[in-house]
Structure 1
Amino acid sequence: MFCAISGEPPQQPVVSVKSGHLFEKRLIEKYLNENGKDPISGDSLTADDLIQLKIEPTNVPPRPPTLTSVPSLLSTLQSEWDSLVLETHSLREQYVNGRKDLAHALYQVDAAHRVIARLMVERDQAREALSNINAATGAATTDSSHAAQTENGDVEMQEETKHALPLHVTANIDTVAAALTAERKKRKVAEGSATAATIRAFGVHDTLTSFHSASPAGVNAVGLSTANNLLLTGGNDKHVQLYDRDAGKTIATLKGHTKKVNALQWREKEGCKTVVVSGGDKRVRVYGEEEKGWKMIGEFKNRSSGEVTGVKVHPTQQYVVSVGTNQTWSLHDLDTLETLLDIGPVEGEKGDFEYTALDVHPDGGIFATGTQAGLVRVWDLKSAKMAANFEVSSSHGAVSSLSFSENGYYLAAAYTGSASVEVFDLRKLKSVHTYTGDEGQSAPTVVAFDPTAQFLAVGGSDVRILANKTWEQLARLEDNTGEIESLVWGNAGKQLIATGMDRAVRVYSASDSA
């Protein structure tokens, strides 16, 4: 018996009651599921029309004719072996090609990573160049003031730059900036400088009390000589005191201001010691040391209106920048007592120009100002133009203090009425960290980076010292009884000097580094 569909002996034979044909059960059921009719006669047929036949289970189906002899079996096995060998060869080729593709992809990824790393380095260098406002920026401004040649070959004089500095001044600024930039890039933290462990061990090393008058009380500004031996303080009593730390006594009291002292700066050049002081009486006065002692040697006449809120000596040690509430900033020559620049509000620029804070970049190419409305602006000194503008949340008040890090990358700002300190990255031109004090703590009044660019001191109701980059709080000093108004670092960051409304000068240091 043979299946009408396969032509081979069936394993489970069934027969159609309608046509009488014999089928293999699995084949006819599959056919009926798909077509529903007899495959031979074409008549309608269902599974119920099939009758299963009983066969002897010991019967063995005959072998196919092709496998009934040894040669046919060998031929079949040879064919199977050849197919297996060809399949193995094909798989091996696919494996080799897969490895090649993977190696090529990995090489491309590695090359892409190297290109991205190089581009990131170039980006950071470009941002650093932008933040430092290199010589090329100033050159463009200078070039615009020179003569331009027409198509006919004639020379046509351009309009003179409105805020041009004398060439010898720009050359001096460029020379010093280039030297300081090159030195800063190579500079490493000097051996023996303060470490995080040193800062954590900070405590009160010395307290100098009863500085300045008790009415009105308060020490608003503090400065320190290069040798760390002369301490300068300016108070609400309108005076500046020079204190010799080695001798342990006040060696001079500088008078002349008719209102409180807002800011002061120490300047040493070629052995000449000078103190620059600004106050609420709209004046910037310069005091110098002579044979008979200290006395005022001059003042800058352009400051005729508005309180002078800040002064900073330029890294050249020849110039000083001043800002005030009269919406101007000025550049002065300390040797000639001449005002070189006097810049008012920028036309078309939004925001106020009532300046409340100031700091000069360590390289001297740029400086930063803070305003009553909480705006922080970065200026290019030579071109007298704004290089960047930082504006934070409206919840911040007037800028009370600014400080550049010694490496030139960061600018910290404290705000009146806000418990937060903003840290701006000059390479990214945005705020990269906001430090917020504990709940209930008064607003920070002053910020100061240390000389090694490792730490940031924040003064307010107490003094807190943060680690640069991580901004972890390393120390909290709470010995003052009044608001902190001014901070200055000394001894390569191993000392921090704080003054405030309690008329005391506190020197903080670790016991083993005092």
Structure 2
Amino acid sequence: MLCSLSGQVPIEPVVSLKSGHVFEKRLLLKYLAQNQQRCPVTSEALDAERDLLALQTIKSSSSSVNINATFTPEAGSIPQLLSTFQNEWDAVMLETFTLKQHLEQTRQELSHALYQYDAACRVIARLNAENATLKERVTQLAAGGQEDVDMGDTFGTLGPEILATVEAKQKELAKRRKDFKKKDGPQRAALLSGLQDWKMVSSHTLHDSDKPGVTCVAIDAKHPTIVATGGVDKQVKIFDTDKQQLVGTLTGHNKKLSHVEFHPTVDMVLTTSFDKTVEALDLTGRRIWSANKYKKAANEARCARFHPDGGIFGTAAKSKLVQMWAVNSLSNVVTFEGHEAPVLALAFSENGYHLASGSEDGVLKLWDLRKATSFYELDLNKEEPTLKLGAINAISFDASGSYLAVASARSVQVLAEASKNRWEVVKSLSDHKAAVTGIQFAQNSSFLASTSMDRSLKIYR
């Protein structure tokens, strides 16, 4: 039976009623006095009077009489020295026990610290490896980004749901188009009877000021109050003319936008850019993301337009060609040739079979989609030499197909169909302070929107 403090056979043994440990009474009382009455083994509160039980041994229970009980030793006597040595021994035992406790605690802390150090070394090694891999990839991308990459002829489709919507709308519009010339066209043209009195009603600056300039504009046919603008800042801004606030921003191109266009039947925007790409962007729920990248063209895509029924879209590039693409197969179905300068603008008439194109030299051409030929040509610089119109940056038919807005220089010219082979200027708008880059009639002919390199979007009605 050994003392839990000294590890020696106790002279006056006591046992803790709480823990069952045996102690030398003398050592235990000293320890309790120094450590707030706490058990040295379990650290529980220990009352010396109630929680300790003295153990009776043969030596301590002997009935022999201590003949020296009344003897008082002198200070330098052997009994006094033995008592002093005993006290010192007790102190050493108490200190040794405390040191053992501290040593065990230090060992545990050291073990925990070593585990943490090992884990940290592993994490640092993994992060260094990932960092080296990322640096290598960035180097490869930077090197590859300086070269043209052949994207091939294989690319995605729009999905069965969108194609089904487009086909259904095509059939619906094909039936209605038979009555367009006699009924719908004249009724829509009547909406612009007060065009001569139109003026600017609002002006907005939506794009970044550090890269000034708005390059294109489009109005949603399904939601006529929603206007999209593309800028030099590579972004497309979605603006609500009723709420007079910005409702969305599209990103994805690497260079400035050249054209933006809403699809007439589904929530999709078509954008073209000087990065030589055409993108379709999905606007489902007004949450905007990139839906599909079309084939990378060999020339800078300058503009793109959807046909009113949504079944085809036209693109024009720096190559002076106008190309028609089928939405269901994303294949080139016809190419128009005839411009002598790069084509900058396209517009489909609501009658479904006329296409207008404008070029850098100020020439406006009208095409018959049924015959794939040009049936009318107008050189605006010769027709209006005093205006010095220059390049045709954008064009837009109204809902009747009887009016055509042309953006160039710092003005907007609205032409009306005077006869089958003759168009004339009926309204001129000159509120912009820089070149007008975009023009669009609202589907319901309620207003006209224009954009310019002066960073502004202007609304006329």
Structure-1-length-normalised TM-score: 0.49
Q: Partner residue of 1:427?
A: 370
Contact 2:434/2:454, CA 8 A, preserved across alignment: yes
User: Does structure 1 residue 312 correspond to structure 2 residue 264?
Assistant: no
Structure 1 position 444 matched with structure 2 position 444: no
1:365 aligns with 2:314: no
Q: Describe how 1:258-407 pairs up with structure 2 within 5 A.
A: 277=250, 280-281=253-254, 309-324=258-273, 329=278, 339=291, 342-344=294-296, 352-394=298-340, 396-397=341-342, 399-407=343-351
In structure 2, distance between residues paired with 1:339 and 1:281:
16
8 Å Cα contact 2:215/2:257 also seen in 1 = no
Does 1:250 find its partner at 2:264?
A: no
User: In structure 2, what is the Cα distance between the partners aligned to 1:214 and 1:169?
Assistant: 37
| Post-superposition offset of 1:456 | 0.9
1:174 matched to 2:122? no
Counterpart-to-counterpart distance in 2, 1:171 and 1:206:
39
When residues 280 and 414 of structure 1 are mapped into structure 2, their CA distance, relative to the original with a 3 A threshold, is farther
1:192: how far off? Answer: 6.3
Does structure 2 retain, via aligned residues, the 8 Å contact 1:279–1:309?
no
Query: For 1:183, what is the secondary structure of its paired residue?
Result: helix
Q: Which residue of 2 aligns with 1:492?
A: 444
RMSD of aligned Cα (Å): 3.5
> Could you tell me which residue of structure 2 aligns to residue 27 of structure 1?
none
| 1:508 is the counterpart of 2:460 | yes
Q: How many residues align?
A: 293
Structure 2: gaps spanning 5 or more residues:
1-152
Provide Cα deviations, 1:141-182, integer angstroms capped at 9, x if missing partner.
xxxxxxxxxxxxxxxxxxxx9678555554443222112222
Letter paired with 1:502: D
Please give the residue correspondences for 1:93-104 in structure 2 after superposition, counting only pairs within 5 Å. none
SS of the residue corresponding to residue 216 of structure 1 reads coil
Query: Residues 431 and 281 from structure 1, CA distance in 2 versus in 1: closer, same or farther, beyond 3 angstroms?
Result: same
Q: What corresponds to 1:221 in structure 2?
A: 216
Does the Cα contact within 8 Å between 1:193 and 1:452 map onto a contact in 2?
A: yes
1:320 and 1:242 mapped to 2: Cα distance?
A: 11
- Conservation of the 8 A alpha-carbon contact between 2:230 and 2:257: no
In the other structure, the counterpart of 1:478 is 430
Matches within 5 A, 1:24-103: none
One-letter amino acid of the structure 2 residue matched with residue 366 of structure 1 = I
State the AA in 2 paired with 1:421.
L
Q: Is the 8 A contact 1:278 1:308 kept in 2?
A: no
Alignment check: 8 A CA contact 2:229 2:236 kept: yes
CA displacement, residues 326-385 of structure 1 (integer Å, 9 cap, x when unaligned): 65556566559685674356xxxxxx5432211111112211110111110112222333
Matched-pair identity in %: 27
Structure 1 distance, partners of 2:233, 2:156, is 39
Question: What is the CA-CA distance between 1:482 and the residue it aligns to?
Answer: 1.4
Check whether the contact 2:263–2:269 (CA below 8 A) recurs between aligned residues: yes
Distance 1:199 1:341, change over 3 A: same
Q: 2:413 aligned with 1:464, yes or no?
A: yes
For structure 1, the residue ranges without an aligned partner over 5 or more in a row are: 1-160, 256-276, 283-306, 346-351, 510-514
**1: CA distance, partners of 2:265 / 2:234:** 28
In structure 1, what residue type is equivalent to 2:212?
A
Which whole-Å CA distance do the structure 1 matches of 2:453 and 2:290 have between them? 34
Higher-Rg structure is: 2
Distance 1:425 1:375 in 2: 15
